[in-house]
Amino acid sequence: MRNLTPTAGPADLAERYAYPPDGAWLRANMVASLDGAAQLDERSGGLGNASDRHLFALLRGLADVVIVGAGTVRAEGYGPVRPEELVAGTRDGRPPVPPLAIASRTLDLDFDAPVFTEAASRTIVLATATADPVRLRAARERADVIVAGQDTLDFPAALRELRARGHRRLLCEGGPMLLAQLVADGLLDELCLTLSPLLLAGHPTRILNGPPVPVPAEMTLAHALRDGDFLFLRYTRRSR
C-alpha cells in the first residue's frame, strides 16, 4: 500500500481522459457517494460539484455519441446536448455536438420534448423490434431509430450499428440499469467514477442496478485525481 501523492499543478483533463487512438471504446461516467449511492433525491446531479460538472461537459465533448437510458432521460430532465455546454476545443473537426442515443424498450418518451425537437445532432433511439408500432412511427418522425433485439435490447448489436455510423468514441451516462446491462454483456471498456464525500444511508440505487454479473469485470486504476474532498477515478478493463 502506498501514499497517493498529488502532482504539482492542475491536471490536463483533456489529455488524461483522451480516448485510445484506435478502435471503438465505451466509457461510462458516473458519480456515487462514499456509501455507494448513485442518486440524491432520485437524481445523480446532487452528488457532484463544479469539477464534476466540468468533467461531465469535457467527456461529452470528447465523445462521438452519448448513450443514456430512457428512465434517466425522464428522471434527470434531459435536454439536447448544446455546443455552449461543452468544453472548448473538444469538437475540432467534428460535428458541434455529439448526438444522444436513448435506449428504450417501451418507447415511453415525449417525442415533442426539446431533447428531440431542438437537438443540433439528430437524437438516436435504440429500440426493439416488438416495440409498439405507433410509438415506433412517432420515434422515426423525430429521431434516427436503431432496432436491435426482439423483446429486449440487444446492446452488442446496437453498439455495432453505432460504430458503423462512425461513432467510435462512445460515452454512457447511465442510468444504473443500462450500465448494469452493458457490464453484463462485457461491453464496458472504462469507468469514470466521481466519488462524492457524502454518506446517505437508506436504500439508494447503486451505479449498477441489475442481477449479479456471473463473471465480474476486473478493472485497472488508470488515474486518481482530487478536487477538495472529491475523488475522480478512472478505471479501464484489465483485458478486452
**Measured on CA atoms in the order 178, 183, 184, 185, is the torsion positive or negative?**
positive
Asked whether residue 4 is assigned to any structural domain, the reply reads no
Neighbours of 43 (CB within 10 A): 13
Number of domains comprising the chain: 1
CA 152 from centre of chain: 20
pLDDT of residue 203: 86
Helix (H) or strand (E) holding 235: strand 230-237
Convert the pLDDT of each residue in 93-149 to its tens digit. 899 999 999 999 999 999 999 999 999 999 999 999 999 999 999 999 999 999 999
SS3 of residue 222 by DSSP: strand
Asked whether residue 18 is assigned to any structural domain, the reply reads no
Asked whether residue 14 is assigned to any structural domain, the reply reads no
Neighbours of 173 (CB within 10 A): 23
The pTM (predicted TM-score) of the whole model is 0.94
pLDDT of residue 170: 98
Query: Which domain, by its residues, includes 233?
Result: 23-237
Asked whether residue 15 is assigned to any structural domain, the reply reads no
Convert the pLDDT of each residue in 18-46 to its tens digit. 999 999 999 999 999 999 999 887 665 68
**Mean predicted lDDT score pLDDT of the chain:** 93
Closest Cα partner for 226 from 60, 35, 13, 14? 13
pLDDT of residue 40: 83
Check which CATH number belongs to the domain holding 183 and give it.
3.40.430.10
The DSSP result for 184-201, as a single string, is: HTT---EEEEEEES----
pLDDT over 80 at 159, yes or no: yes
pLDDT of residue 238: 85
Asked whether residue 134 is assigned to any structural domain, the reply reads yes
